[in-house]
Amino acid sequence: MNACFSKAEAKSQVGSRVESAHDLPEVPAGCHGRITGAKDGGIRGWTLRIEWDLPRRRSEMMAHVGEFSFNVPWRAKKLKSDFSRSEVERLLRQLG
C-alpha cells in the first residue's frame, strides 16, 4: 500500500514545482510539473495533484459539407496526475 501525506503536508506542497525522475505513463523523464492541489483519500491520507507542462498536442478535425471543407484546430487538455507520498519520493524530484 502506498504511503500518503497528512492534510497539512499535502496543503503545504501546493504551488511547488516538480520534475519526473523516470518515464511515467504519458510523462517523459525530465518533464516539469506544478502541484496544483491536494486530494483527500479518506483513511489512506492525502495525495497531490500535479499538472504537467507537456507540449500541448494539436489536432485537426476535418469535415466536408458539399463543396466546402472545414479544418478545425483544437488543443488537448493539460495532463493531471495524482501521486501518493511514496510515489512522489520514488518517481519525482522537487525543483527549487
Q: Considering its fold, how many domains does the chain have in total?
A: 1
pTM equals 0.74
Residue 80 lies in a domain: yes
Residue 2 lies in a domain: no
CA atoms within 13 A on the CB side of 14: 12
Residue 1 lies in a domain: no
Structural domain for 84, as ranges: 7-95
pLDDT in tens, 38-81: 999 888 899 999 999 986 655 565 666 777 766 666 556 688 99
> What is the pLDDT of the chain when averaged over all its residues?
85
Residue 49 lies in a domain: yes
CB 71 within 8 A of CB 32: no
Query: In the structure grid, which three cell numbers stand for residue 62, read together?
Result: 476535418
Residue 13 lies in a domain: yes
pLDDT in tens, 5-32: 999 999 999 999 999 999 998 899 999 9
